[in-house]
Amino acid sequence: MAMRPSDLLVHALHARFNNAMGLFEPFEARPHIVVAVSGGPDSMALALLAKNWVAVRDGQATALIVDHRLRQESRDEAVCVQQRLRALKIRSEVLVWRGEKPATGVQAAARTVRYQLLDQWCAQNGVMHVLTGHHTNDQAETVAMRSARGSGPEGLAGMSAVVEHTRMRLLRPLLGFDRDGLRDFLEDQGVPWLVDPSNRDLRYERARLRQGNPLSCHPREETRQTGATRRALEGRVQTALAACVAPHPFGFCGVNLSNFIKEDPTVVDGVLSRVVAWIGGRNYLLAPALATQLRSQLSALKPGQSATAGGCLLTRRKETVVITREPGRLPSVRKMDLRSGDLWDGRFWLEADPTQGGQGRSYNIGPLGSTGVRDVVRSNDLASVSGIPKAAIAALPALWVDGVAVCVPHLFIQRAGESQFSAVFRPRRTLSSPTFAVA
C-alpha cells in the first residue's frame, strides 16, 4: 500500500531529526534523554521526535515541565501538558519555581531558574543530556535582538547547538527546523498544543520581533557563516586559556602575562570574558565592549594596582594578573537548605554532610570576609594557604552562627558540635569548554 504524502513528510522529519542527533554523538548505551517541554508546538514536536529516537536505541525519554508560577493558570496548564504527554506514552514530571518573583527582568530570571531546575533534576537522576525545542525562527529572533544590542561575532552567531553545563549537556537538535514544519507535523499526528500568552505580549522584545520577519534580516546561511567565524575564534581562545590561565579550586586564577600579551587582542578579550564569567559566577560572558575596555585597563596597571569587572577584582603582580571575586560584590549571609545541594554565589556547590542525619539542613551561609579571615587566622594555623590571595580566602563560603564563622570547608575549619557542609568550586559556566557548535 502506497504511503500518503503526509506519511512521507513525517518519515523525512524523523530522518532529519536522527541526522541532527547524530551531530551530538556519542551517547551512552540505552540513553536516557530529558526533553524540556512547555506544551507549545515546538517542544511537543520535540518530545514526539525524541520518543521515537530513544525507542530505536532501547532508551527512555523524560519530559520535564517547568511551572514558573508567573500566571494564575500555570498550574492547570502544567497538568494539561502532563495529560497530553501521558496520552502519547511519554513520561513526565513538573518542576516548580517556588518563592518570590522579581518585579523586573522576569523573563531573564525565569530562564535562569528554568535551567537551574533542569540541571538539578538531571544531577539527581543521573541524566546527562537535555533537549530544548529552539528552532530556526528562534535563532533568527535571537540574532536580531543581539544585533540590535551591538553584539560582536559571538553574539551574531546565535545559539550554539550544544552548551556544556557543569552537570548536563544542553542540546538543540531543532535549530535547522522551521516553526511551520513542526506545527504541520503535530497537526498530522493529531497532537494539540498550548499557546503561551507571553508570546503575544508586546512588552517583551521577542514578541515584538515576531510582528516582523527576523529570518529576512538574518538568513540561516549568514548565521552559519558567523558561527564558523566564532568557532575559529573560540578555538584560539581555548588554546590561549590552556597556555596562560592557572585556575585554583579556591575560586581564583592567575594569568601569565608573558604569554598573554603576545596574543591577538580579540583572543585576549575572549579569555578575559570567560575568566571573569567563571570567577564572577555569571550566567553570561562580558559584553565585547566591556572586555575590550578591561584589556585596556589591565595594560595600564602597575604591580599592586587593581581593576574591577563583572564582579571580579583583577590585581596586577609582577608577572601575573590575579583574578578573584570582588569583595564589595559578595552576597550577604542567607539561610540555605542544603538537603539537595545548592549553588552559592554562582560559584560554589554546597551540600550538607550526609552523616548528620536530620540535622544541619538549614545553614546560614555567607562569605568569610575580611573579619572572618582575621578571626580564623588568629585561632588556626593556616600555613597550608600560604600564597593564596586574601581576597580569594575572604570570598570562600562559611557557616555563620551568632556572628562567628564556625565552618569553612576549604580551610578545614570546623567548630565542635556544629553542622558541616562541603563546598566545591563549580561555577555556572565552565572555563574551558567545547567550541561553538553550528547546527
Per-domain residue ranges of the chain? 5-218, 248-328, 333-425
What residue spans of 179-317 are helical by DSSP H? Answer: 179-189, 205-209, 214-217, 220-244, 257-260, 265-280, 288-300
Radius of gyration of the chain (CA): 24
Cell of 135: 528552532
* Bridge partners, residue 94, by sequence: 65
State the Cα–Cα distance between residues 64 and 38, nearest whole angstrom.
Answer: 8
Question: Nearest to residue 177, comparing CAs of 383, 14, 313, 377?
Answer: 14
DSSP assignment string, 45-96 = HHHHHHHHHHHHTT-EEEEEEEE---STTHHHHHHHHHHHHHHTT-EEEEEE
Class of domain 248-328: alpha beta
Please tell me the pTM assigned to this model: 0.76
Cell of 301: 596597571
The CATH code belonging to domain 5-218 is 3.40.50.620
State the Cα–Cα distance between residues 39 and 73, nearest whole angstrom.
Answer: 13
Query: Residue 1 has what pLDDT?
Result: 46
- Per-residue pLDDT tens digits of the chain, which is 439 residues long: 445 556 777 888 999 999 999 999 999 999 999 999 999 999 999 999 999 999 999 999 999 999 999 888 999 999 999 999 999 999 999 999 988 888 888 888 888 889 889 988 998 899 999 999 999 988 888 888 887 777 777 778 888 899 887 788 999 999 999 999 999 999 999 999 998 766 665 555 555 566 566 655 555 677 777 878 888 888 899 999 999 999 999 999 999 988 888 889 999 999 999 999 999 999 888 888 899 999 999 999 999 999 999 999 999 998 999 999 999 999 999 998 887 788 899 999 998 876 654 454 678 999 999 888 887 766 666 666 778 899 999 999 999 988 888 899 998 888 877 778 999 999 988 887 666 777 6
Identity at 16, one-letter amino acid code: R
